[in-house]
Amino acid sequence: MIAMSTLRAQVRLRLLITYRVDPEVARSLVPEPFRPQVVDGSAVAGVCMIGLRSIRPGWLRPRIGFRSENVAHRVAVEWDERGETRSGVYILERHSSSILPVLTGGRLFPGVQRRGRVDLDETSTRFRVRMTAPGTRVAVDVELGGAWTSTLFPTVEAASQFYEQGSVGWSPDRHGHGAEPLQLTSPDWAVEPAHAISVRSSFFEALPAGSAVLDSVVAMRDLPFFWDTPTITPERVAQPHHI
């Protein structure tokens, strides 16, 4: 893969929708050498819905770029590297409303993407997002604010720290021979609590009954994001066995 060194974009909206997942079920979803990151006895997984504008190589000016709406299903993972435990996420599948990421994902930058239709119905505080693609459907209705509720994270600040520390996302490569890393950072990282009015994900609903339970939602808005290919040597990984 010939990769761009850096991508940058302005995040219009990012919703991180988190589930508590049975650790054994989560383990069946990720390949070695990754293992689910366990918090309070549960694996952490979820849906990342992110609307981007001014997507471009790092050296281009903001007025040049494209927009896209994207949805990723992911699991928080750990792995051992040079005697240390590292944390990040393993991306189970990615969908994008834009054809460009679909054509270039796994070629010019890590992360194979599939085409999905994304429908938006938004106000300044409420976000209804629906994504449909062959084999996958996601529909969320989220409202900003309200009291923080989570059995995984005691505060929204703790959730924010967890997500920020898991900045490296691993994706299966285009040829199925391993995994490719991509690191997401923001100089202005900030999250705010949100309330899930309704969340449906065909991916999580297909897991064994009771093994995935909705936990919490946070939102990020109007932030600059950078994606870099970190200097990590990917180990050869086996393909995950899906339930």
Q: What is the pLDDT of residues 56-87, one digit of tens each?
A: 775 556 555 568 899 999 999 999 988 889 99
Task: State mean pLDDT over 103-130.
Answer: 82
Write out the residue range of the structural domain in which residue 122 sits: 6-228
Looking at residue 12, which CATH number applies to its domain?
Answer: 2.40.400.10
Predicted pLDDT of residue 185: 92
Contact assessment for residue 199 and residue 140, using Cβ atoms and an 8 Å cutoff: yes
Distances (CA, A) of 50 to 14, 110, 222, 227: 4, 17, 11, 14
Report which of residues 67 and 212 the model is more confident about: 212
Q: Please check whether residue 243 lies inside any domain of the structure.
A: no
Which among 25-34, 91-100, 107-116 has the top mean pLDDT?
25-34
Is pLDDT of 2 > 50?
A: no
Phi and psi (nearest 5°) for 126?
-130, 135
Contact assessment for residue 105 and residue 112, using Cβ atoms and an 8 Å cutoff: yes
- Cα(143)–Cα(218) distance, rounded to whole angstroms? 10
Predicted pLDDT of residue 208: 98
Select from 52, 42, 74, 46 the least CA-distant residue to 8: 52
Is pLDDT of 107 > 70?
A: no
Contact assessment for residue 216 and residue 146, using Cβ atoms and an 8 Å cutoff: no
- Cα(233)–Cα(243) distance, rounded to whole angstroms? 29
Report which of residues 185 and 238 the model is more confident about: 185
Is pLDDT of 236 > 50?
A: no
Mean pLDDT of the residues in the chain: 87
Cα end-to-end distance, the chain, whole Å = 30
Give the three-state DSSP class for 135: coil
Q: Please check whether residue 130 lies inside any domain of the structure.
A: yes
Beta strand 38-39 with 42-57 is: antiparallel
Is pLDDT of 237 > 60?
A: no
Please give the tally of structural domains in the chain: 1
pTM of the complete model: 0.88
Predicted pLDDT of residue 4: 53
Q: Please check whether residue 55 lies inside any domain of the structure.
A: yes
Is pLDDT of 17 > 50?
A: yes
Distances (CA, A) of 173 to 61, 108, 189, 194, 219: 29, 12, 28, 33, 29
Report which of residues 212 and 68 the model is more confident about: 212
Task: State mean pLDDT over 100-122.
Answer: 75
Predicted pLDDT of residue 234: 45
Task: State mean pLDDT over 120-126.
Answer: 95
Report which of residues 86 and 234 the model is more confident about: 86
Query: Under 8 Å CB-to-CB from 166, ≥6 apart: which residues?
Result: 37, 76, 87, 88, 89
Is pLDDT of 104 > 70?
A: no
Task: State mean pLDDT over 12-41.
Answer: 97
How does residue 100 score in pLDDT terms, banded at 50, 70 and 90?
Answer: low
